[in-house]
Amino acid sequence: MSQTQQSQQTQSVRHAGTTDPAGPASAQAEVYQFHPHGFDAPNYGTQEQVEVEGYDDATLARLRREAAQVAGRYPQARSALLPLLHLVQSYDGYVTTRGLELAAEFAQVSTAEAAGVATFYTQYKRHPNGRYLVGVCTNTLCAIMGGDQIWDELSEHLDVGHDETTEDGVITLERIECNAACDYAPVVMANWEFFDNMTPESAKVLVDDLRAGRPVRPTRGPDRLTTFTEMSRVLAGFTDGLADQGPSAGAPSLLGLGIAREQGWDQSATDGTTQESDEQAGTTERSGAGGEAHPGPGEKHSSAEAPAGGPASADEVPDAEPGTAADDAQKGNPQ
């Protein structure tokens, strides 16, 4: 078979089942088209490039003043990189190139290093983000408790996939990993505030309220949901005055603690530091379930394994003089 014949055969295999006159590229696009609501990879680098000009003078002056304030909190400027990236995100709605360069300048790192950080953490967006970032936890526990169903229905309801934004620019939807709120599974986050024990229906009500501009209150945390840029400013270290609002821990999170107290289980039995801080707080009961006293900080926890008249454990045996028979015995060397 000639090279030309091979090539023609390959082309006909690629086009099998298609009558696309536009050729291989068009057919390939058809074959590899993403399912609109299926599990698709993050579209990093596939979003439309947005041209952003420099900051105007007043904005730049304020941003530089605040960036200096953030960098000034740390003994080493590079330690300020994460809040600096949140700061520029609070100005631009995502980490723009101009913001990245400014953050790198104040953190005294190269733009490439700053870009490496900004593209590593999913809290930093490299393309325009919606007013509200809605994340559906699809990690194991939330997934089996209904998170997968919430994702499917919400994605279809909004007609967007992972890391995509609704046409009105209000909602960016994403799959998220465990947010350490498994006791409230399935969980939805909006701008990193918790919406607990969700259902497909309550998740749709949430996004509909956000799109309609109706006030929304997270299950825990502040009394009102702030916008993505407002939240980014808080993460940069500028308070919005809402930190003390709302409950932070609910009954499911505290259940284990209640049982431990009921049973008299005491962490201080294995952690002298906790014992000390509990005693300072006046909350420690020194007795276990059997009424025996627990050892205090620095005290030996148990003598049960100690041979009569001997040390309790190997690490209490004093080091023998190097090179002596006792030393060889400790190391298991033959005599």
Give the residue with the Cβ less far from ligand FES, 198 or 207.
Answer: 198
Taking CB under 6 A as the criterion, the residue among 63, 170, 181, 225 binding ligand FES is 181
**Cβ 141 vs Cβ 183: under 8 Å:** no
Select the residue interacting with ligand FES from 111, 122, 123, 139 (CB under 6 A).
139
- With respect to ligand FES, which residue has the nearer C-beta, 89 or 155? 155
Least Å distance, CB 179 to ligand FES, is: 5
| Stretch of 32-40, 54-62, 138-146, 211-219 lying at the interface with ligand FES (CB under 6 A) | 138-146
Considering the rule CB under 6 A, would residue 141 count as an interface residue with ligand FES?
yes
Q: Which residue in the block uniquely carries the two structure tokens 């997270």?
A: 218
Q: Which is nearer to ligand FES, 141 or 312 (CB)?
A: 141
Where in 42-101 is the site for ligand FES (CB under 6 A)? none
For 303, the 3-state DSSP assignment is coil
CA gyration radius for the chain?
30
For residue 182, the Cα-to-chain-centroid distance in whole angstroms is: 14
Does position 198 interact with ligand FES (CB under 6 A)? The reply is no
What distance lies between CA 42 and its chain's CA centroid? 16
Contacts of 73 (CB under 8 A, 6+ apart): 80, 83, 237
C-alpha to C-alpha distances, 129 to 165, 166, 172, 291, nearest whole angstrom:
7, 10, 6, 58
Closest contact distance (angstroms) between CB of 195 and ligand FES is 11
Near ligand FES by CB under 6 A: residue from 77, 182, 320, 326:
182
Query: How many residues are given for the chain?
Result: 335
DSSP 213: T
Coil, helix or strand for 256? Answer: helix
Considering beta carbons, is residue 104 or 198 the nearer one to ligand FES? 198
Shortest Cβ distance from residue 183 to ligand FES (Å)? 8
Enumerate residues 302-331 that contact ligand FES by CB under 6 A: none
Q: Does 137 bind ligand FES (CB under 6 A)?
A: yes
- Part in contact with ligand FES (CB under 6 A); list of ranges 26-34, 115-123, 136-144, 156-164: 136-144
CA distance 28 to 311: 74
Q: In whole angstroms, how close is the CB of 34 to ligand FES at the nearest point?
A: 25
Please tell me the chain's helix, strand, coil percentages from 3-state DSSP, rounded to the nearest 5. 45, 5, 50
